């Protein structure tokens, strides 16, 4: 019974994706909606992303330094490990899971509140495609999500450099040498491909749970929790699949 419910929900989700791109809202209206979503979702997340990235990058560098106790192991590996950890996994995946809580809860609660207060029904009565009106601007706004992850990558490595150098674990030249060593440009491409997929999940899964929720104010809170769980699960699952496809040999 539960399996059938999950399959039904997945089917409804893909039908929702199809409906989002039908019957487009006028550009003059859509333009303002997109700018509002960019402000709420991207610019509004800059502070928390910068803070977390900087300090986690620092922690990765310190943890690596503390575990390199063998004097035969070169210290530049601290910079190498920090770069690899931040670019490959921390910035695209860990930040996306955090954003599933921040952005996801915001999207689900805002659309869920519109459902409870019958604003979505009012849009439908006026002949507006409510899914296009509500979800499409979020998808377009989150095309800028790689910009946020790019900042997270830079600040993560910067945090690692500052923690390593000012903590007395490594010299600046050694850390920079480590970050430049064996650099594979495709790793950046891989990270941004993942980021765009995660951006689509962050825009659509919370919207799905907000749009199709039933009940009152209490159910809005429950829908936000459920959307966070499923967005996080989807991000981790897609992370595994994309890593296997793009990096697995």
| Domain residue ranges in the chain | 30-248
- Of 3-7, 42-46, 231-235, 242-246, the one with minimum mean pLDDT is 3-7
Spell out the residues 6+ positions from residue 190 whose beta carbon is closer than 8 angstroms to its own: 88, 242, 243, 246, 247
More confident residue, 10 or 148: 148
Closest CA to 111 of 179, 203, 31: 203
**Percentage with pLDDT > 90 across the chain:** 22
E strands present in 102-219: none
For residue 114, pLDDT over 90 is answered with no
Distance CA 243, CA 223 (A): 30
The answer to whether 91 and 157 are in contact (CB under 8 A) is no
pLDDT bracket for residue 151 (50, 70, 90): very high
More confident residue, 221 or 191: 191
Distance CA 118, CA 5 (A): 25
Averaged pLDDT, 89-112: 89
Q: For all residues of the chain together, what is the average pLDDT? A: 86
Distance CA 38, CA 26 (A): 18
Averaged pLDDT, 94-103: 90
For residue 109, pLDDT over 70 is answered with yes
| Burial class of residue 50, CB neighbours in 10 A (0-12, 13-18, 19+) | middle
Distance CA 5, CA 2 (A): 5
pLDDT digits (tens, 9 = 90+) for 164-199: 888 888 888 888 888 888 888 898 999 999 999 999
For residue 217, pLDDT over 80 is answered with no
pLDDT at position 4, please? Answer: 86
């Amino acid at each position: 019974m539960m399996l059938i419910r999950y399959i039904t929900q997945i089917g409804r989700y893909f039908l929702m994706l199809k409906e989002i791109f039908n019957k487009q809202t006028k550009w003059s209206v859509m333009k303002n909606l997109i700018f509002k979503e960019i402000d709420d979702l991207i610019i509004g997340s800059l502070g928390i992303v910068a803070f977390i990235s900087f300090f986690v990058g620092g922690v990765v560098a310190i943890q690596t330094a503390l575990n390199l106790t063998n004097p035969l192991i070169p210290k530049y590996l601290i910079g190498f490990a920090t770069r690899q950890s931040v670019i490959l996994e921390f910035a695209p995946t860990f930040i996306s899971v955090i954003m599933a809580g921040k952005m996801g809860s915001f999207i689900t609660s805002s659309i869920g509140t519109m459902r409870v207060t019958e604003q979505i029904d009012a849009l439908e009565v006026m002949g507006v495609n409510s899914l296009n009106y509500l979800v499409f601007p979020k998808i377009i706004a989150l095309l800028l999500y790689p910009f946020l992850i790019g900042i997270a990558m830079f600040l993560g490595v910067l945090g690692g450099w500052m923690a390593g150098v000012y903590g007395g674990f490594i010299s600046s030249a050694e850390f920079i040498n480590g970050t430049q060593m064996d650099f594979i440009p495709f790793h950046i491409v891989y990270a941004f491909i993942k980021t765009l997929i995660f951006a689509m999940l962050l825009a659509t899964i919370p919207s799905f749970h907000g749009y199709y929720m039933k009940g009152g104010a209490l159910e809005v809170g429950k829908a936000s929790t459920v959307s966070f769980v499923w967005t996080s699960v989807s991000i981790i699952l897609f992370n595994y699949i994309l890593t296997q496809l793009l990096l697995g040999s």
